[in-house]
Homo-oligomer: A and B are copies of this chain.
Amino acid sequence: MDEIDRKLIAHAQNDGRASYAEMGAAVGLSVSAVNERLKKLQASGAITGWGARASAEALGLDLLAFVHVLLERPEHEAAFRQTMRDTPAVQECHHVTGEWSYLLKVRVANTAALERFLTERLKTVPGLGRSHTVIVLSTVKETPALPTE
């Protein structure tokens, strides 16, 4: 993982359909070298996959919310985590420090869908305590690309 690898990852994150020739030109490598490095980066797990980036609006997902969750009973953690993994609306689920146990990033169509998630998915989990929902009014920045600097 040298400086060239970082540049390569940065470029691959922002233009995943670029040809090896283009990537090579961007980082100063030949096509063969790009091929080899990308293969190694994927084998080592530095690059985990490739994917299209979709627009939430276009998919009708007009509501983004962060939900803070308190889980008082540790014996119910496994069930809670599995529910989060199985729920498509949950984009992220983090175990966090502070007054709450978990922080969720939830994307749904509207407030009705958010209500369904909260009442039918979240509050039905055994051992679940309070929760606190923060609605996103607008997004200034949101990139799936990791910083390489």
What is A's interface to B at a CB cutoff of 8 Å?
1, 6, 9, 12-17, 41, 44-56, 58-59, 61, 64, 66, 81, 84-85, 88-98, 100, 102-103, 107, 132, 134-149
Q: Which residues of B contact A90 (CB under 8 A)?
A: 141
| In the bound complex, CA of A143 to CA of B87 (Å) | 12
Q: Which residues of B contact A46 (CB under 8 A)?
A: 54-55, 58-59
Provided the pairs A91-B143, A141-B90, A149-B88 are in contact, do residues A51 and B96 lie with their beta carbons within 8 angstroms? no
CB distance from A2 to the nearest CB of B (A): 12
Do residues A96 and B66 form an inter-chain contact, with CB atoms below 8 A? yes
The residue that A147 contacts in the complex, of B88, B98, B140, B149, with Cβ under 8 A, is B88
